[in-house]
Copies of this chain bind each other. A is one copy, B any other.
Amino acid sequence: MSVVHKFTGNKNIYDWDGVVVKAYEEEFTGVTRQVLIGEQDKSPNYEIRYFRLEPGSHSHKEQHPHDHGVVILHGRAKVQINETFQEVGPLDVIYISGNDLHQFVVLGSETLGFLCTVPANR
């Protein structure tokens, strides 16, 4: 069902109407996940999530069959894709193919925030 999730946050905390803030993975502190478009909207093809990583934190180093389409919204990160490392910042676009090893590590004192699209079936 079509829906508008109005942005209700501010430049420090991103929030949206009708979107809950979830923990990322149990053992990870400083990382949250908000599903902006997904199962709750009956989106059959893809999910669009917003991830927020506090300074000093990082995402899990992971490798899996599904791909990621990432757009950085704020902050800076060192992104690892297989054996390569690259610094990224606001509005940089990162496509991580399925089965490529990847990790985001926050750089500097600013909170990292990015959109991450994944296939619905994964």
| Residues of A in contact with B (beta carbons under 8 Å apart) | 1-7, 9, 14, 16, 19, 36-37, 41-46, 48, 66-67, 69, 71, 79, 81-82, 86, 88-98, 100, 102, 115, 117, 119
Report the Cα distance A69→B116, complex, angstroms.
12
Which residue of chain B is the closest to A47 with respect to CB atoms? B69
Residues on B with C-beta less than 8 A from A2 are: 81-82, 94-97, 100, 102
Complex partner residue of A115 from B1, B4, B115, CB under 8 angstroms: B115
Residues on B with C-beta less than 8 A from A97 are: 1-2, 41-42
Residues on B with C-beta less than 8 A from A102 are: 2
Report the Cα distance A95→B66, complex, angstroms.
22
Query: 6 closest pairs, A vs B, by CB?
Result: A7-B91, A45-B119, A5-B93, A37-B69, A36-B93, A46-B46
- Least Cβ–Cβ distance between A62 and chain B, in angstroms: 13
Residues on B with C-beta less than 8 A from A6 are: 88, 92
Assess the B43–A69 pair: CB atoms within 8 A. yes
Report the Cα distance A122→B42, complex, angstroms.
17
Residues on B with C-beta less than 8 A from A1 are: 97
